Amino acid sequence: MLGWLAKLVLGLLLFSLLWVLAYRFLNPPVTATMLSDIFAGRRAEQAWLPIGQIDRDMVRAAIAAEDGKFCSHNGFDFQAIEDAAKRNASGGRIRGGSTISQQAAKNAFLWQGGGYARKGAEAWFTFLIEQLWGKRRIMEVYLNLAETGIGTYGVNAGSERYFGHDASAMSATEAARIAAVLPLPKKRGAVAPVGFTRRYGGIIASRIGTVARDGLDACVYAGTRPVANKAPPAAHKAVRSAPGSEYESAAPPPPTADVDQPAPIAEPAPDETPPPETNAPADAVSNKG
């Protein structure tokens, strides 16, 4: 019995190793979250864009919003995990301490939702991608698989949906608004955001300058020619909403933050709970956890 169990565990470890190694070179064709949308009768829209073509402000916005230590940790931010545990235990708004690496591992190989089994598998896959992929590939996979709206996956599909152009040329405000949507993509919209999402997008926009100034995105561009920020199109096309989406088409409102005066990286007000901004399904879940 023990010998059979040992072989099973060894087989699973070898399979996961080969799976991760394959995704170092091949883009994931589908994820568990995409399949859940398809089974629910929605389309899963994605338009993969290589990291070398994604506007650098989008990379900076993701780091500013989700993981300021992305370039300095080995996949896990233990201080953030400890802080999240203390906060959740105190009865505050529930939040996770997941890094971008952990979220990339979850999105590529696992499923949404909690549970010790998934968390344990997430830790293993996070370790593997940190060792076999490197930061640049991790960021590329994360930005292309993260859910950015109902039935919409990746920042490129999100930019096309919300702003009418791809993610190769984005304003800091556009990048910040997509980053603000990432934790709760089924409840938040990047077009004409209100309340918490609008304020949080403004905070992220101001952080982009801090990320640039301190080189917090340097690991993504190490050994390559960095992507220059490109001016987004002057005129926005009509916003394309994904099937089943509750968000309405609208022209993006004016910027909400002065990105020339970046504020120090800091979390939004801890006691503020984001109000529902759409009539999204009640069972909508967060990307981060």
Phi-psi sector, 98: left (phi>0), alpha (psi -120 to 50), beta: beta
Return the CATH number at 135.
1.10.3810.10
Give a yes or no: residue 106 inside a domain. Answer: yes
Both tokens assigned to 83: 């802080």
Instruction: Please give the Cα distance from 16 to 11 (Å, whole number).
Output: 9
Both tokens assigned to 128: 């593997």
Provide the domain limits for residue 203.
31-221
Instruction: Please give the Cα distance from 54 to 7 (Å, whole number).
Output: 43
> SS3 for 153?
strand
231-287: per-residue pLDDT in tens?
666 544 433 333 333 333 333 333 333 333 333 334 444 334 444 433 333 333 345
Does the predicted TM-score (pTM) go above 0.75?
Answer: yes
CA dihedral 238, 192, 184, 263 (to 10 degrees): 120
Give a yes or no: residue 156 inside a domain. Answer: yes
157-215: per-residue pLDDT in tens?
999 999 999 999 999 999 999 999 987 777 776 766 667 788 899 999 999 999 999 99
Give a yes or no: residue 273 inside a domain. Answer: no
Residue 179: C-alpha distances to residues 59, 68, 225, 283 (Å): 9, 13, 24, 21
Structural domain count, the chain: 1
Instruction: Please give the Cα distance from 202 to 176 (Å, whole number).
Output: 7
Asked if 133 and 20 count as a contact pair (C-beta separation under 8 A), the reply is yes
